Amino acid sequence: VQNDLAKFNVNISESLPLIGGFLAQVDEAGRKKLMDAGYLVFVDEEKSWLPVNPWERKDKSPSGLPGIGAFGGQEKPKEKIKPEDLKLKERAKLMEARFQTPLTQKYTGKGVTIAVIDTGIYPHPDFKDRIVAFVDFVNGRSVPYDDHGHGTHVAGDAAGSGKMSGGLYKAPAPEANIAALKVLSDKGGGKTSDIIKAITWCIENKDKYNIKVINMSLGHPAQPNFMQDPTNLAVMMAYKSGLTVVAAAGNEGPEPLTIGAPADTPFAISVGAADDLNTVEKSDDKMTDFSSRGPTFAGFVKPDIVAPGEAIIAPIAPCSNSEMTAIKINKIKETMLWLSKMPDEALLRVPADTLKLIGLSDETIQRWYESPENARKEIKRIFDVGQSMPIEMEAYQGMPGTSMASPIVSGVVAQLFCANPDLNPDQVAQILKMTADKLPDGSSVFAQGHGMVDPHEALQLALDVKDGKVTLPPPTIERVKLPPELEKLLPPSMGLPG
């Protein structure tokens, strides 16, 4: 291949053997020649890999496209907001652990390592003694750090012990080890090549550290052909090596066809975000609006499952961008509470410069001035965002997103390997899907997949498989023929594999 590339005057700087690729300097003319010759050429530039923050999204409404109901439930359009809905209510505080049973307390992930490919990790007391490896692909440092904060939160979602909270904010695998691979900067940007290198590192070191699961709470817009995405190819190789890859579905919902990569590949367990309303009861669980919806461009039924992803409390990385954002949004929340007490006519006279100083976007300000009802709607929306990002005990912070739901599932996967070390990635995926609980809100299979993760039932099935009491059926890839309404939304020239 290198000899062939030499004919195109390609200056190779580094090899990416995991995907049979290379890093090289190529001009636009050379890129076109390579593409014409059958090569896949991607620009390895720094770009944002973190899912869109729910508080930065535009106000979206479900598309309501017909035909989705045939695959497991119709997405319901938002109801018109009533005046009483605009009253500001405090979100209930989590007072009891969600998934605590004698079985889940027995299998804590001890001895299993979760690889967290993210923004790094701060050595928080909840897991600092269990960071078995740290590799910095961004700045080359050797001491664990996290200048963004996202990776620290993700690690805590999966394997935090809750030490600083007296056990209140304990993750599913509180005794699992963590290998932190920093591939994203303080702004959340990163290169595809670094993510591929991190996955390569996991494969090469999986036996040394007993890495069983890779968590990827990151992604980018999916390619029309999922097998032409370099990250997806790397994930496929991790899967073939025996590693279970868990990926965040993305925060681009509620429209269909919004699952990002690598969550769009059948070689990863993709996780959407549900809202458990901070209660232990299952009867009030519901989908979040922001969680990305399937199907994928290839017609795969995604996400596979969902997990709690609204106002998730986990360890904070001091002085990180995430902490600064949380402080800012909580101050804005207090301001919204004050503004909500103003009469209608006064709301419409609040100067635009004042709203900008608060931190509101031009688009939000424009909606604000349309009517008092719109202004109060924006006040409530921003207040609710603040409610999902509290700072607790100066040691934890709340975050919403599929980025938080994904590591919760990764923690459950570590529990499964703790109970049954002989499981393979296909069996793990089957166990999670077979034991998930359907949400009571009637959400489409393209929103909730197989339903809310159930750690207790998953552990019980894993043990039954180990004892020979249950034989899992052969794995299948769930793929559907898209209804015409969704076919119209597909990019042209799909060129999908069979």
Catalytic residues: 118, 150, 403
How far is the C-alpha of 222 from the C-alpha of 491, rounded, in Å? 11
Task: Write the DSSP assignment of 382-433 as a string of letters.
Answer: HHHHHHTS-EETTTEEEE-SHHHHHHHHHHHHHHHHHH-TT--HHHHHHHHH
Tokens of 340: 């909500």
Find the farthest-apart pair of alpha carbons in the chain and give their distance in angstroms, rounded: 74
CB 85 within 8 A of CB 119: no
Chain position carrying tokens 């999908």: 496
Task: Write the DSSP assignment of 329-364 as a string of letters.
Answer: HHHHHHHHHHHTTS-HHHHTTS-HHHHHHHT--HHH
Nearest alpha carbon to residue 216 among 382, 444, 413, 463 = 413
Angle between helices 230-240 and 192-209 (to 10 degrees): 10
How far is the C-alpha of 212 from the C-alpha of 420, rounded, in Å? 12
Contacts of residue 458, defined as CB under 8 A and 6 or more positions apart, other chains included, come to 412, 415, 416, 431, 432, 435
Tokens of 192: 């595809």
